[in-house]
Structure 1
Amino acid sequence: MTSSVTPLKQLKAQSDVCPVTGLTLRERNLLVNSFKALGKDGLNTVATSLLAWSVENIEGMRDKFVQPGAENSCFSKLLQEENFAAHSLVVMLSLDSLVGLVHKPDKLLATMADILLSHVHRNEGAVQVEYFNRFAHKFSKYIQQQRHLDADDEEVLVWDKFMTSLVKAADRVITKKSPAHLELRVVGPRSCCTLMKRTSRGTGGTAGTGDRRPPNSPTAKLWFKVQLAWQRWAFGLGGFKDKHRE
Protein backbone atom coordinates (compact mmCIF):
# COMPACT_ATOMS: atom_id res chain seq x y z
CA MET A 1 0.00 0.00 0.00
CA THR A 2 1.40 3.36 -1.06
CA SER A 3 1.69 5.96 1.69
CA SER A 4 -0.40 9.11 1.18
CA VAL A 5 1.94 11.16 3.35
CA THR A 6 3.86 13.78 1.37
CA PRO A 7 7.63 13.44 1.92
CA LEU A 8 9.11 16.12 4.18
CA LYS A 9 11.40 17.43 1.44
CA GLN A 10 8.45 17.84 -0.94
CA LEU A 11 6.47 19.74 1.70
CA LYS A 12 9.41 22.04 2.34
CA ALA A 13 9.85 22.65 -1.39
CA GLN A 14 6.17 23.57 -1.73
CA SER A 15 6.34 25.97 1.21
CA ASP A 16 9.36 27.66 -0.34
CA VAL A 17 7.45 28.62 -3.50
CA CYS A 18 5.94 32.11 -3.60
CA PRO A 19 2.19 31.84 -4.38
CA VAL A 20 2.31 35.08 -6.38
CA THR A 21 5.46 34.77 -8.49
CA GLY A 22 6.18 31.06 -8.34
CA LEU A 23 9.77 31.77 -7.30
CA THR A 24 11.51 29.44 -4.88
CA LEU A 25 13.34 30.80 -1.85
CA ARG A 26 16.66 30.37 -3.63
CA GLU A 27 15.35 32.21 -6.70
CA ARG A 28 14.02 35.05 -4.56
CA ASN A 29 17.38 35.43 -2.85
CA LEU A 30 19.05 35.44 -6.27
CA LEU A 31 16.69 38.22 -7.35
CA VAL A 32 17.49 40.34 -4.30
CA ASN A 33 21.24 39.94 -4.79
CA SER A 34 20.90 40.73 -8.49
CA PHE A 35 19.09 43.98 -7.75
CA LYS A 36 21.70 44.96 -5.18
CA ALA A 37 24.41 44.40 -7.78
CA LEU A 38 22.45 46.40 -10.35
CA GLY A 39 22.21 49.39 -8.02
CA LYS A 40 25.69 49.18 -6.52
CA ASP A 41 26.57 52.64 -7.88
CA GLY A 42 23.34 54.18 -6.56
CA LEU A 43 19.76 54.13 -7.80
CA ASN A 44 20.10 57.54 -9.47
CA THR A 45 22.60 56.20 -12.00
CA VAL A 46 20.75 53.04 -12.92
CA ALA A 47 17.35 54.78 -12.88
CA THR A 48 18.12 57.10 -15.79
CA SER A 49 19.80 54.25 -17.63
CA LEU A 50 16.74 52.03 -17.24
CA LEU A 51 14.19 54.59 -18.37
CA ALA A 52 16.34 55.66 -21.32
CA TRP A 53 16.75 52.00 -22.31
CA SER A 54 13.00 51.43 -21.94
CA VAL A 55 12.17 54.35 -24.21
CA GLU A 56 14.35 52.87 -26.94
CA ASN A 57 13.40 49.21 -26.50
CA ILE A 58 9.78 49.01 -25.36
CA GLU A 59 7.09 49.51 -27.96
CA GLY A 60 5.10 52.72 -27.51
CA MET A 61 7.29 54.04 -24.71
CA ARG A 62 9.10 56.68 -26.75
CA ASP A 63 5.82 58.31 -27.77
CA LYS A 64 5.08 58.96 -24.09
CA PHE A 65 7.95 61.44 -24.06
CA VAL A 66 8.65 62.61 -27.60
CA GLN A 67 6.14 63.09 -30.41
CA PRO A 68 6.40 60.68 -33.37
CA GLY A 69 8.79 62.02 -35.99
CA ALA A 70 10.55 64.37 -33.61
CA GLU A 71 14.27 64.82 -34.09
CA ASN A 72 16.56 62.66 -31.99
CA SER A 73 17.97 65.83 -30.46
CA CYS A 74 14.64 66.33 -28.67
CA PHE A 75 15.07 63.04 -26.86
CA SER A 76 18.74 63.70 -26.18
CA LYS A 77 17.78 66.95 -24.47
CA LEU A 78 15.08 65.15 -22.52
CA LEU A 79 17.67 62.83 -20.99
CA GLN A 80 19.38 65.86 -19.46
CA GLU A 81 16.21 67.22 -17.86
CA GLU A 82 15.97 67.20 -14.08
CA ASN A 83 12.34 66.14 -14.36
CA PHE A 84 13.27 63.09 -16.44
CA ALA A 85 15.81 62.11 -13.80
CA ALA A 86 13.18 62.50 -11.07
CA HIS A 87 10.68 60.44 -13.04
CA SER A 88 13.32 57.78 -13.65
CA LEU A 89 14.07 57.56 -9.94
CA VAL A 90 10.39 57.06 -9.14
CA VAL A 91 10.38 54.06 -11.49
CA MET A 92 13.48 52.63 -9.84
CA LEU A 93 12.15 53.21 -6.33
CA SER A 94 9.00 51.33 -7.31
CA LEU A 95 11.10 48.38 -8.49
CA ASP A 96 13.13 48.56 -5.29
CA SER A 97 9.95 48.43 -3.21
CA LEU A 98 8.80 45.31 -5.09
CA VAL A 99 12.11 43.52 -4.65
CA GLY A 100 12.06 44.46 -0.97
CA LEU A 101 8.74 42.64 -0.59
CA VAL A 102 9.75 39.53 -2.51
CA HIS A 103 9.46 37.40 0.66
CA LYS A 104 6.07 38.91 1.58
CA PRO A 105 3.69 37.78 -1.20
CA ASP A 106 0.55 39.52 0.10
CA LYS A 107 2.24 42.91 0.40
CA LEU A 108 4.09 42.33 -2.87
CA LEU A 109 0.88 41.74 -4.78
CA ALA A 110 -0.92 44.65 -3.12
CA THR A 111 1.94 47.03 -3.94
CA MET A 112 2.08 45.96 -7.58
CA ALA A 113 -1.69 46.37 -7.85
CA ASP A 114 -1.39 49.88 -6.38
CA ILE A 115 1.29 50.75 -8.94
CA LEU A 116 -0.95 49.56 -11.77
CA LEU A 117 -3.94 51.44 -10.42
CA SER A 118 -1.91 54.65 -10.16
CA HIS A 119 -1.52 54.52 -13.96
CA VAL A 120 -4.39 52.66 -15.62
CA HIS A 121 -8.01 53.75 -16.01
CA ARG A 122 -6.97 57.36 -15.73
CA ASN A 123 -6.93 60.15 -18.28
CA GLU A 124 -6.53 59.51 -21.98
CA GLY A 125 -2.93 58.79 -22.88
CA ALA A 126 -1.92 57.42 -19.50
CA VAL A 127 0.07 54.20 -19.36
CA GLN A 128 -2.14 51.11 -19.51
CA VAL A 129 -1.67 47.50 -18.41
CA GLU A 130 -0.41 46.57 -21.87
CA TYR A 131 2.67 48.72 -21.26
CA PHE A 132 3.39 46.98 -17.97
CA ASN A 133 3.15 43.62 -19.73
CA ARG A 134 5.66 44.77 -22.35
CA PHE A 135 7.94 46.20 -19.66
CA ALA A 136 7.76 42.95 -17.69
CA HIS A 137 8.76 40.88 -20.71
CA LYS A 138 11.60 43.23 -21.65
CA PHE A 139 13.08 43.99 -18.24
CA SER A 140 15.10 40.77 -18.14
CA LYS A 141 16.78 41.92 -21.37
CA TYR A 142 17.91 45.05 -19.58
CA ILE A 143 19.28 42.95 -16.71
CA GLN A 144 21.07 40.75 -19.22
CA GLN A 145 22.70 43.77 -20.84
CA GLN A 146 23.65 45.58 -17.65
CA ARG A 147 24.93 42.49 -15.87
CA HIS A 148 26.69 41.08 -18.96
CA LEU A 149 24.87 37.76 -18.81
CA ASP A 150 23.82 35.14 -21.34
CA ALA A 151 20.16 34.99 -22.33
CA ASP A 152 19.74 31.61 -20.62
CA ASP A 153 21.49 32.64 -17.40
CA GLU A 154 19.43 31.74 -14.34
CA GLU A 155 19.50 35.34 -13.12
CA VAL A 156 17.91 36.54 -16.37
CA LEU A 157 15.29 33.79 -16.31
CA VAL A 158 14.39 34.52 -12.69
CA TRP A 159 13.81 38.20 -13.48
CA ASP A 160 11.58 37.27 -16.42
CA LYS A 161 9.56 34.90 -14.24
CA PHE A 162 9.26 37.45 -11.44
CA MET A 163 8.19 40.41 -13.56
CA THR A 164 5.74 38.64 -15.87
CA SER A 165 4.00 36.62 -13.17
CA LEU A 166 3.74 39.63 -10.85
CA VAL A 167 2.14 41.90 -13.45
CA LYS A 168 -0.31 39.16 -14.47
CA ALA A 169 -1.28 38.54 -10.85
CA ALA A 170 -1.75 42.25 -10.13
CA ASP A 171 -3.78 42.68 -13.32
CA ARG A 172 -6.15 39.96 -12.12
CA VAL A 173 -6.54 41.84 -8.85
CA ILE A 174 -7.44 45.19 -10.38
CA THR A 175 -9.84 43.68 -12.91
CA LYS A 176 -11.93 42.53 -9.95
CA LYS A 177 -12.46 46.16 -8.95
CA SER A 178 -15.99 47.40 -9.52
CA PRO A 179 -16.66 49.27 -12.79
CA ALA A 180 -17.80 52.27 -10.73
CA HIS A 181 -14.45 52.40 -8.93
CA LEU A 182 -12.52 52.26 -12.19
CA GLU A 183 -14.77 54.87 -13.80
CA LEU A 184 -14.02 57.33 -11.00
CA ARG A 185 -10.32 57.13 -11.82
CA VAL A 186 -10.93 58.39 -15.35
CA VAL A 187 -11.87 61.80 -14.00
CA GLY A 188 -9.47 61.69 -11.07
CA PRO A 189 -6.03 63.32 -10.79
CA ARG A 190 -3.70 62.92 -13.74
CA SER A 191 -1.29 60.03 -13.56
CA CYS A 192 2.40 60.76 -13.10
CA CYS A 193 3.15 59.92 -16.73
CA THR A 194 0.88 62.57 -18.25
CA LEU A 195 3.19 65.37 -17.12
CA MET A 196 5.99 63.80 -19.12
CA LYS A 197 3.78 63.97 -22.23
CA ARG A 198 3.05 67.70 -22.23
CA THR A 199 3.95 69.59 -25.37
CA SER A 200 6.65 72.19 -25.05
CA ARG A 201 4.46 75.12 -26.05
CA GLY A 202 4.86 77.78 -23.39
CA THR A 203 7.39 75.78 -21.38
CA GLY A 204 10.64 76.90 -22.93
CA GLY A 205 10.58 74.51 -25.88
CA THR A 206 9.97 75.28 -29.53
CA ALA A 207 6.30 75.02 -30.42
CA GLY A 208 5.53 72.75 -33.33
CA THR A 209 8.85 70.88 -33.28
CA GLY A 210 7.39 67.81 -31.66
CA ASP A 211 9.47 68.32 -28.54
CA ARG A 212 7.58 66.88 -25.59
CA ARG A 213 10.14 67.62 -22.96
CA PRO A 214 8.60 68.11 -19.53
CA PRO A 215 8.20 71.73 -18.44
CA ASN A 216 11.22 72.96 -16.54
CA SER A 217 9.26 75.35 -14.37
CA PRO A 218 9.48 75.48 -10.56
CA THR A 219 5.93 74.11 -10.43
CA ALA A 220 6.88 71.08 -12.49
CA LYS A 221 9.94 70.42 -10.36
CA LEU A 222 7.86 70.70 -7.21
CA TRP A 223 5.32 68.25 -8.63
CA PHE A 224 7.98 65.64 -9.22
CA LYS A 225 9.40 66.14 -5.73
CA VAL A 226 5.92 65.69 -4.26
CA GLN A 227 5.39 62.61 -6.41
CA LEU A 228 8.70 61.16 -5.26
CA ALA A 229 7.88 61.90 -1.63
CA TRP A 230 4.53 60.16 -2.06
CA GLN A 231 6.24 57.08 -3.45
CA ARG A 232 8.60 57.00 -0.48
CA TRP A 233 5.71 57.32 1.94
CA ALA A 234 3.48 54.77 0.19
CA PHE A 235 6.19 52.12 -0.04
CA GLY A 236 7.99 52.90 3.21
CA LEU A 237 11.11 54.21 1.48
CA GLY A 238 11.79 57.26 3.59
CA GLY A 239 15.41 56.27 4.06
CA PHE A 240 16.28 56.67 0.39
CA LYS A 241 16.52 60.44 0.41
CA ASP A 242 20.05 60.64 1.77
CA LYS A 243 21.24 57.40 0.23
CA HIS A 244 20.19 57.89 -3.36
CA ARG A 245 19.48 61.56 -3.99
CA GLU A 246 22.38 63.73 -5.05
Structure 2
Amino acid sequence: MELSKKDLKILNSIKGITALLSDSKPTPKRAIKVVKYEKRLEKLQEELLKLQKWVVANDKKVVILFEGRDAAGKGGAIRRITEHLNPREYRVVALPKPDEIEKGQWYFQRYVNHLPKSGEIVLFDRSWYNRAVVEPVNGFCSTIEYERFMSQVNEFEKMMVHSNIYLIKFYFSITKEEQENRFNDIIDNPLKRWKYSAVDAKALELWDEYTKYKERMFDQTNMYVKWKIIKANRKMNARIAAVEHVLKTLPYETKDEKVLKHRHV
Protein backbone atom coordinates (compact mmCIF):
# COMPACT_ATOMS: atom_id res chain seq x y z
CA MET A 1 0.00 0.00 0.00
CA GLU A 2 1.43 3.36 -1.04
CA LEU A 3 0.84 5.98 1.65
CA SER A 4 0.25 9.65 0.96
CA LYS A 5 1.66 12.43 3.13
CA LYS A 6 -1.80 12.78 4.68
CA ASP A 7 -1.88 9.05 5.48
CA LEU A 8 1.58 9.21 7.07
CA LYS A 9 0.50 12.19 9.18
CA ILE A 10 -2.49 10.17 10.43
CA LEU A 11 -0.30 7.16 11.28
CA ASN A 12 2.20 9.34 13.13
CA SER A 13 -0.51 10.90 15.30
CA ILE A 14 -1.44 9.64 18.77
CA LYS A 15 -4.72 8.31 17.40
CA GLY A 16 -2.92 6.54 14.55
CA ILE A 17 -0.42 4.88 16.83
CA THR A 18 -3.20 3.88 19.23
CA ALA A 19 -5.19 2.36 16.37
CA LEU A 20 -2.17 0.31 15.29
CA LEU A 21 -1.35 -0.90 18.80
CA SER A 22 -4.93 -1.80 19.75
CA ASP A 23 -5.62 -3.94 16.66
CA SER A 24 -5.02 -7.68 16.89
CA LYS A 25 -4.02 -7.72 13.20
CA PRO A 26 -2.66 -4.22 12.61
CA THR A 27 -2.14 -2.80 9.13
CA PRO A 28 -1.55 0.82 8.11
CA LYS A 29 -4.72 0.76 5.94
CA ARG A 30 -6.93 -0.38 8.81
CA ALA A 31 -5.37 2.07 11.27
CA ILE A 32 -6.01 4.96 8.88
CA LYS A 33 -9.60 3.81 8.39
CA VAL A 34 -10.18 3.63 12.16
CA VAL A 35 -8.81 7.15 12.71
CA LYS A 36 -10.95 8.59 9.91
CA TYR A 37 -13.99 6.77 11.31
CA GLU A 38 -13.40 8.15 14.80
CA LYS A 39 -12.97 11.70 13.51
CA ARG A 40 -16.13 11.43 11.42
CA LEU A 41 -18.06 9.94 14.30
CA GLU A 42 -16.92 12.73 16.63
CA LYS A 43 -18.23 15.38 14.23
CA LEU A 44 -21.56 13.59 13.93
CA GLN A 45 -21.83 13.19 17.69
CA GLU A 46 -21.44 16.95 18.02
CA GLU A 47 -24.46 17.27 15.73
CA LEU A 48 -26.35 14.73 17.86
CA LEU A 49 -25.85 17.00 20.87
CA LYS A 50 -27.42 19.86 18.89
CA LEU A 51 -30.27 17.55 17.96
CA GLN A 52 -30.88 16.57 21.58
CA LYS A 53 -30.80 20.21 22.68
CA TRP A 54 -33.46 20.99 20.02
CA VAL A 55 -35.62 18.06 21.16
CA VAL A 56 -35.51 19.22 24.78
CA ALA A 57 -35.95 22.95 24.11
CA ASN A 58 -38.94 22.40 21.81
CA ASP A 59 -40.66 19.52 23.65
CA LYS A 60 -40.21 17.20 20.69
CA LYS A 61 -40.69 13.43 20.90
CA VAL A 62 -38.43 11.06 18.96
CA VAL A 63 -38.59 7.27 18.57
CA ILE A 64 -35.86 5.31 16.78
CA LEU A 65 -36.32 1.58 16.13
CA PHE A 66 -33.40 -0.78 15.57
CA GLU A 67 -34.32 -4.04 13.87
CA GLY A 68 -32.27 -6.57 11.92
CA ARG A 69 -30.68 -9.98 11.92
CA ASP A 70 -29.17 -11.28 15.14
CA ALA A 71 -25.58 -9.99 15.55
CA ALA A 72 -26.15 -7.34 12.88
CA GLY A 73 -24.72 -4.55 15.04
CA LYS A 74 -27.85 -2.82 16.36
CA GLY A 75 -26.45 -2.46 19.87
CA GLY A 76 -23.18 -0.99 18.64
CA ALA A 77 -25.00 1.64 16.60
CA ILE A 78 -27.18 2.57 19.59
CA ARG A 79 -24.08 3.00 21.76
CA ARG A 80 -22.46 5.37 19.26
CA ILE A 81 -25.62 7.46 18.97
CA THR A 82 -26.08 7.80 22.74
CA GLU A 83 -22.41 7.91 23.80
CA HIS A 84 -22.29 11.65 24.57
CA LEU A 85 -25.98 12.48 24.98
CA ASN A 86 -27.43 13.69 28.26
CA PRO A 87 -28.66 10.44 29.87
CA ARG A 88 -31.56 12.21 31.58
CA GLU A 89 -33.14 13.03 28.24
CA TYR A 90 -32.98 9.77 26.31
CA ARG A 91 -33.80 6.12 27.02
CA VAL A 92 -32.79 2.82 25.44
CA VAL A 93 -35.60 0.26 25.63
CA ALA A 94 -34.80 -3.45 25.24
CA LEU A 95 -37.82 -5.34 26.52
CA PRO A 96 -37.65 -8.94 27.78
CA LYS A 97 -40.23 -11.56 26.94
CA PRO A 98 -43.75 -10.43 27.93
CA ASP A 99 -45.01 -11.62 31.30
CA GLU A 100 -48.42 -13.19 31.87
CA ILE A 101 -50.15 -9.84 32.37
CA GLU A 102 -48.62 -8.38 29.20
CA LYS A 103 -49.61 -11.45 27.20
CA GLY A 104 -53.25 -10.65 28.00
CA GLN A 105 -52.97 -7.02 26.87
CA TRP A 106 -53.28 -5.43 23.46
CA TYR A 107 -49.97 -6.33 21.81
CA PHE A 108 -48.80 -2.73 21.42
CA GLN A 109 -49.61 -1.76 25.02
CA ARG A 110 -46.21 -2.65 26.49
CA TYR A 111 -44.54 -0.47 23.83
CA VAL A 112 -46.94 2.43 24.31
CA ASN A 113 -45.86 2.47 27.96
CA HIS A 114 -42.31 3.25 26.84
CA LEU A 115 -43.00 5.97 24.26
CA PRO A 116 -41.24 9.30 24.90
CA LYS A 117 -42.53 12.15 26.97
CA SER A 118 -42.07 15.68 25.60
CA GLY A 119 -38.40 16.55 25.17
CA GLU A 120 -37.19 12.94 25.04
CA ILE A 121 -35.57 10.50 22.60
CA VAL A 122 -36.35 6.79 22.96
CA LEU A 123 -34.32 4.13 21.13
CA PHE A 124 -35.84 0.65 20.88
CA ASP A 125 -33.31 -2.20 20.66
CA ARG A 126 -35.85 -4.40 18.91
CA SER A 127 -39.43 -3.23 19.00
CA TRP A 128 -43.01 -4.20 18.22
CA TYR A 129 -41.61 -5.61 14.98
CA ASN A 130 -40.59 -8.73 16.92
CA ARG A 131 -44.06 -9.92 15.97
CA ALA A 132 -43.38 -9.31 12.27
CA VAL A 133 -40.33 -11.58 12.03
CA VAL A 134 -38.77 -13.16 15.14
CA GLU A 135 -41.99 -14.41 16.72
CA PRO A 136 -43.60 -16.11 13.70
CA VAL A 137 -40.28 -17.62 12.56
CA ASN A 138 -39.65 -19.17 15.98
CA GLY A 139 -43.26 -20.13 16.76
CA PHE A 140 -43.64 -17.57 19.56
CA CYS A 141 -47.01 -16.34 18.25
CA SER A 142 -49.94 -17.87 16.41
CA THR A 143 -50.84 -17.17 12.79
CA ILE A 144 -53.88 -15.23 14.00
CA GLU A 145 -51.73 -13.07 16.30
CA TYR A 146 -49.26 -12.43 13.48
CA GLU A 147 -51.96 -11.45 10.97
CA ARG A 148 -53.67 -9.23 13.56
CA PHE A 149 -50.37 -7.42 14.14
CA MET A 150 -49.81 -6.92 10.41
CA SER A 151 -53.30 -5.47 10.05
CA GLN A 152 -52.77 -3.00 12.92
CA VAL A 153 -49.15 -1.86 12.77
CA ASN A 154 -49.57 0.79 10.07
CA GLU A 155 -52.47 2.40 11.92
CA PHE A 156 -50.47 2.29 15.16
CA GLU A 157 -47.62 4.16 13.47
CA LYS A 158 -50.08 6.57 11.86
CA MET A 159 -51.37 7.45 15.33
CA MET A 160 -47.81 8.04 16.51
CA VAL A 161 -46.96 10.32 13.59
CA HIS A 162 -50.24 12.23 13.96
CA SER A 163 -49.40 12.68 17.65
CA ASN A 164 -46.25 14.58 16.61
CA ILE A 165 -43.84 11.75 17.34
CA TYR A 166 -40.86 11.59 14.99
CA LEU A 167 -40.40 7.92 14.10
CA ILE A 168 -37.31 6.44 12.43
CA LYS A 169 -37.13 2.72 11.54
CA PHE A 170 -33.74 1.06 10.95
CA TYR A 171 -33.15 -2.45 9.65
CA PHE A 172 -29.54 -3.66 9.89
CA SER A 173 -28.83 -6.14 7.11
CA ILE A 174 -25.91 -8.59 7.02
CA THR A 175 -25.09 -11.63 4.89
CA LYS A 176 -25.46 -15.18 6.14
CA GLU A 177 -21.68 -15.64 6.07
CA GLU A 178 -21.12 -12.51 8.15
CA GLN A 179 -23.73 -13.57 10.70
CA GLU A 180 -22.02 -16.93 11.09
CA ASN A 181 -18.63 -15.23 11.57
CA ARG A 182 -20.05 -12.91 14.23
CA PHE A 183 -21.75 -15.78 16.07
CA ASN A 184 -18.42 -17.63 16.15
CA ASP A 185 -16.67 -14.54 17.52
CA ILE A 186 -19.31 -14.21 20.25
CA ILE A 187 -19.10 -17.90 21.21
CA ASP A 188 -15.29 -17.74 21.37
CA ASN A 189 -15.27 -14.65 23.59
CA PRO A 190 -16.08 -15.38 27.29
CA LEU A 191 -17.06 -11.73 27.83
CA LYS A 192 -19.59 -11.78 24.99
CA ARG A 193 -20.89 -15.33 25.21
CA TRP A 194 -23.95 -14.21 27.20
CA LYS A 195 -25.23 -12.52 24.03
CA TYR A 196 -25.67 -15.86 22.26
CA SER A 197 -29.24 -17.02 22.86
CA ALA A 198 -31.33 -20.04 21.94
CA VAL A 199 -32.91 -17.92 19.18
CA ASP A 200 -29.44 -17.08 17.84
CA ALA A 201 -28.53 -20.77 17.78
CA LYS A 202 -31.32 -21.41 15.25
CA ALA A 203 -30.87 -18.23 13.21
CA LEU A 204 -28.66 -19.68 10.48
CA GLU A 205 -30.86 -22.75 10.09
CA LEU A 206 -33.93 -20.51 9.77
CA TRP A 207 -32.27 -17.94 7.50
CA ASP A 208 -34.72 -18.36 4.61
CA GLU A 209 -37.74 -18.12 6.93
CA TYR A 210 -36.40 -14.88 8.38
CA THR A 211 -35.93 -13.59 4.84
CA LYS A 212 -39.52 -14.42 3.88
CA TYR A 213 -41.03 -12.61 6.85
CA LYS A 214 -38.59 -9.72 6.59
CA GLU A 215 -39.56 -9.09 2.96
CA ARG A 216 -43.27 -9.14 3.80
CA MET A 217 -42.56 -6.67 6.61
CA PHE A 218 -40.83 -4.30 4.19
CA ASP A 219 -43.63 -4.66 1.62
CA GLN A 220 -46.50 -4.00 4.02
CA THR A 221 -45.18 -1.63 6.71
CA ASN A 222 -43.77 1.26 4.69
CA MET A 223 -47.07 3.12 4.59
CA TYR A 224 -46.46 5.99 7.03
CA VAL A 225 -42.80 5.57 8.00
CA LYS A 226 -40.41 4.00 5.52
CA TRP A 227 -37.67 1.60 6.57
CA LYS A 228 -34.05 2.69 6.32
CA ILE A 229 -32.03 -0.41 5.44
CA ILE A 230 -28.44 -0.23 6.68
CA LYS A 231 -25.91 -2.53 5.01
CA ALA A 232 -24.09 -3.68 8.11
CA ASN A 233 -21.37 -6.13 7.06
CA ARG A 234 -18.88 -3.35 7.78
CA LYS A 235 -19.64 -2.16 11.30
CA MET A 236 -17.98 1.25 11.10
CA ASN A 237 -19.79 2.16 7.88
CA ALA A 238 -23.10 0.97 9.32
CA ARG A 239 -22.75 3.09 12.46
CA ILE A 240 -21.86 6.21 10.50
CA ALA A 241 -24.73 5.64 8.05
CA ALA A 242 -27.22 5.27 10.91
CA VAL A 243 -26.10 8.46 12.67
CA GLU A 244 -26.15 10.37 9.38
CA HIS A 245 -29.70 9.23 8.65
CA VAL A 246 -30.96 10.36 12.06
CA LEU A 247 -29.37 13.78 11.60
CA LYS A 248 -30.63 14.19 8.03
CA THR A 249 -34.17 13.07 8.89
CA LEU A 250 -34.88 15.25 11.93
CA PRO A 251 -35.34 19.00 11.33
CA TYR A 252 -33.30 20.24 14.28
CA GLU A 253 -32.03 23.81 14.38
CA THR A 254 -28.44 24.93 13.75
CA LYS A 255 -27.87 21.86 11.57
CA ASP A 256 -24.41 21.94 9.97
CA GLU A 257 -25.12 20.87 6.39
CA LYS A 258 -21.41 20.75 5.55
CA VAL A 259 -20.88 18.03 8.14
CA LEU A 260 -23.81 16.02 6.81
CA LYS A 261 -22.70 16.28 3.17
CA HIS A 262 -19.29 14.79 3.99
CA ARG A 263 -18.86 11.26 2.62
CA HIS A 264 -18.76 8.63 5.35
CA VAL A 265 -15.91 6.09 5.59
TM-score when normalising by structure 1: 0.32
* Larger helix percent: 1
Query: What's the TM-score, normalizing by structure 2?
Result: 0.31
